[in-house]
Copies of this chain bind each other. A is one copy, B any other.
Amino acid sequence: MPTLPFDLPDLSIFSSGAGGEEGAAFADALFSLFILFLAAKIGEEVFRRINQPGVIGELLGGFIVGPFALGLAHVTLTAEVFAELGVVILLFTVGLEVRLDDLLKVGPMALAVGLIGFVLPIIAGIAIGLAMGEEALSAALIGLALAATSIGITSRVLAEMGMLDRAFARVILGAAIVDDILALLAIGVLSGLAEGDLGVDTVLTLVAGLAFVGIGLALAPLGRRLPRKIFVWPKFADTPVVPVFILMFAGALLAQFVGLAAIIGAFVIGLFVAETPVREEVEHGFRSLLGIFAPFFFAVTGANIDMSALLQLDLLIIVLVLTLMGVLTKLIGGIVGSWRLGKWNSVVVGLGMSPRGEVGIVVAALGLSLALINQEVYAVLLAAVILTTLVAPVLLQWAIPKAPRDERHPEGADAGA
């Protein structure tokens, strides 16, 4: 555990907790939050001034102050919670920007992108794993870590560039849902196989996950019939912000409860609120929440980056192969699945599905805990996951301007100007 470069004063005297050890942990948690936030914003500032995606700056800012570099900030449990709420709020606000009808229109396309972009990386991962001399199940886990998509990074890039109204954004979002359900299924199957018991639990989890998304999407149109006064009915609510925050939080927890990602729950709630008359008010009120919480997600993701595997040449080659295959397979998934959007638009879809982020990391960690992979393979997977996450925003920023707004098919047509 790295230590702070100076002694922290006992900040606990006036904190609501008691003094001593708990007080020190409290002071550390608060101080680490501040450093992570500051580092993210300074990183963003530097990157935007050199015309690079701000999100990379936030990731690198977090990395620099994090435990694998300067060690100024600890990634405390509190920081993880702030990060989780950050990405939950991010995906909720993305959901707010999407019209359900538009999303459903690109449904088949999203299904194709999600499926192809899930199967190909698994095949590639298995091939690489077997070539590395791993067992079949271990190779499958490597494939699965390559197949998972983390939508947080892409969402941020799309929002930053004002592209959430584009058809490719909706395809990416829809495909991410498909991806998450497939990951849910695959993780269940793989865990079951590894532990030698593949039972009804896996099936139940899948059913619950599908039911959550299905019911959520089915209920969303009902939002149109809700009058504003329902949202400000509570006396504590002058604006709909607090009631909607509770709804979003509940949706995120419920999604986790059935085994999906919390962000899928928040996204579905966002879709629902987008249909209601309070959409603009909520969007407005959530702007500062997004500004305060979201940086923690990127800073913490960056602070968790362990680049040690990149420093060994023999491992580095495997890392680069995995990264390349990771991006390529998602790219093929995007191009094949959404070809009808036009060449560059489908390229953007593929690149948008590329960041593995925390989902890939968690699959790798799961493999480690199930003893499917060893520490070395874990480090390699981690590095590849991180590289896909760092590379994608740069590629997206390069590709998006090339993608014309006039997609050829009406079902893929842009909603906005």
Residues of A within 8 A of B (CB): 9, 11-20, 22, 25-27, 29-31, 33-34, 37-38, 41, 44-45, 48-49, 54, 76-78, 80-81, 83-85, 187, 234-236, 239, 241-242, 245-246, 249-250, 253, 256-257, 259-263, 285-289, 291-292, 297, 300-301, 304, 358-359, 361-362, 365-366, 369
Contact = CB atoms under 8 A, between A and B. Distances in A.
A342 B26 CA distance: 43
Nearest to A83: B16
Nearest to A359: B14
Contact of A16 (B26, B84, B242): B84
A5 to B, nearest CB: 15
Contacts of A239: 287-288, 291
Which 8 A-B residue pairings sit nearest by Cβ, starting from the closest? A14-B261, A48-B235, A16-B358, A11-B256, A78-B78, A285-B288, A18-B365, A44-B236
Contacts of A78: 29, 77-78, 81
Contacts of A253: 11, 30-31, 34
A15 B359 CA distance: 8
A13 B26 CA distance: 26
A45 B236 contact: yes
Contacts of A11: 253, 256-257, 262
A249 B14 contact: no
Given A77-B29, A80-B26, A81-B29, A241 B291 contact: yes
Nearest to A282: B288
A262 B80 contact: no
Given A15-B84, A30-B81, 12 more contacts: A13-B366, A14-B256, A17-B77, A19-B366, A20-B369, A26-B84, A30-B84, A37-B246, A45-B234, A45-B236, A48-B235, A288-B289
